[in-house]
Amino acid sequence: MTTAVLRAGAWPAVAGLSGLAAVVGGCGAAFPAAATVLLPICFALLAAAAAFTLDEPASAVVDVTPTGAGRRTTIRAVALLAPLAAGALVMLAAAVRGQALPWAAAGLALAGNVLLGFAAACVARTRTGEPGAAVGTAVVLALMAPSLVPSIARWIRTFPAPGTGGPSSDPVWWTVLAVGAVAIAISVGGRRLPRWTSRVP
Amino acid sequence: MTTALAPARPGAVARRATLVPLAAREMRRFVLNPLFLFAVVMAEWITWTGGGGTATEIDEVNGYPAVFLGGFGMMAAFWLTRSMRASEPVAGVTPTSRPARTAALCWVAIVPFCCGVLTLFGFLHAYPAGDAVYGPFSPSARIAVLVGQIVVPSLGGPLLGVALGRWVRFPGAAFVLFLVIFGWVELVTIVTLWHQDSWPATVLRLFSPFAFFTVQADSGGVTAWRGSPWFFIGWQLALCAIAVLAALLRGAEGQVRTRIVRALGIAGLAALILLVLAATGGFTHAVTA
């Protein structure tokens, strides 16, 4: 059962996005001056990779099988190891290159990014079988908002930059972790069937 | 004496008669896309408020319209193109060929292009061409910088989105490309900061659909980097042509396909020449004013 659920995952998307994130993050590690721009992009790609873990092209069939949503989501969560490993690799490379990043905050941001993508996918999965593309886009745009809209950067920071200037990213990610965990629990516990499928009596 | 008027070719008239309503329909769908509407609002808001009016050099603010109209426009155009994928089995048997439908999709880029022109006027209202924020560029080069950074990306982004939607199956391709281009521009700009007079660094910086031309100097002035803004516009337009041709190539058959492939080769060569001219033209070294 576990193997079948895992095999049906959108592995090319998850692995491809994680790999691309590792390349972008690797450039950030290689060019320390660009790290504050490239590492947030890397983490946003990892969040997008996490958003694709729940994609199920055969959802119309799978969602009415006796295997519960909780079990399927738990098994699919194994795929989160790919973005997490890619992020850890990038942070290790940056540390080896001697970058002075706040590592605890960066680790928290990595976990928060991946959980944000996964939680958003869990919520969207109650409505559609393949939430990855839409959720991935939404998550990426939300995470890149401080870089894209100048006034947002004054209030919210999604990546911990070296130095003490500006707001900290920690409160954002602690909040995301807490809200994300609750959202996952609620969406998995009370998952509704997609609108187009009829309920089994 | 009688004058014979050559009638228009019936095929061309029929094609135009099909293209216009198709393009109008696609344009209506594109304009109603929430992402594009958001992008237009953000671009115009940042432009007409002058980015807070605190910019000390023009590149601090003129990247935002390119991000919103070009980047977000690319994502909107990608979705628009992909939205027809499910109906392809039905649409594919209609008398309208796929290249004709692609051409109609390409016409939607007129909308963000017009928004880009409007944004350009907004920028000139907030930062007139004689302002010191443009650095040592001549008045005509200042306009070229703005056109290359605001107007042409607004046209090229959606065209790239159509080409991407025609060729790439991955549904998240648009945001991935958006992030890759965003990261590339930042990376090569930082490389240029280290090697301001280097020709390879200039080529790398200009090898992109968007490029910065100025930076705030330590002395307080504005430093203009190497490179010709006019030839850079030529390079960008060549990229636009490549995007259109690549999009049209999908589904093209027979003689049309041969013509598109030939035109792609010419456009690729023109792009290469214009990139070299853009990198060798303009200032031969960084100049601060």
Tens digits of per-residue pLDDT, A126-165? 888 888 899 999 999 999 988 888 778 778 888 887 665 6
Q: Among A42-46, A52-56, A103-107, B12-16, whose mean pLDDT is lowest? A: B12-16
Domain count, chain A: 1
pLDDT at B126: 84
Residue A196 belongs to some domain of the structure:
no
> Is the confidence at residue B13, as pLDDT, over 90?
no
E strand or H helix at B191, and its extent? helix B173-194
Mutation choice for A interface testing from B41, B164, B179 by most A CBs within 10 A: B179
Q: What pLDDT score was predicted for residue A200?
A: 43
Q: Indicate yes or no: CB of B172 within 8 angstroms of CB of A48.
A: yes
Which helix (DSSP H) or strand (DSSP E) does residue A70 occupy?
helix A69-76
Choose, out of A113, A148, A151, A158, the residue to mutate when testing the contact with B (most B CBs < 10 Å): A148
**What's the predicted TM-score (pTM) here?**
0.88
Q: Which residues in chain B (39-78) have CB-CB distances under 8 A to chain A?
A: 42, 46, 51-52, 64, 67-68, 75
Task: Express as a percent the part of chain B with pLDDT over 70.
Answer: 91
d(CA B240, CA B250): 16
| Least confident interval from A186-190, B71-75, B252-256, B265-269 | A186-190
pLDDT of residue B7: 57
> Quick check: A34 contacting B, CB < 8 Å?
yes
Of B42, B172, B179, the CB nearest to A41: B179
Q: Quick check: is A170 in a domain?
A: yes
B105: nearest Cα among B127, B79, B77? B77
- The pLDDT tens digits of the residues spanning B264-284 come to 999 999 999 999 999 998 888
Partner residue facing B183 (CB), from A41, A140, A141: A41
What is the ipTM, given to two decimal places? Answer: 0.85
* Confidence at residue B217, expressed as pLDDT on a 0 to 100 scale: 81
Of A18, A135, A139, A144, which to mutate for an interface test with B (greatest number of B Cβ within 10 Å)?
A144
A20 touches chain B (CB under 8 A): yes
For residue B20, what are the contacts with CB-CB under 8 A and spacing of at least 6? Answer: none
Residue A6: which domain range? 2-189
B182 and A41 in contact by Cβ < 8 A? yes
Q: Which of A14, A151, A161 is nearest to A82 (CA)?
A: A14
Q: Is residue A79 part of a domain?
A: yes
Structural domain includes residue A199: no
Residue A176 lies in a domain: yes
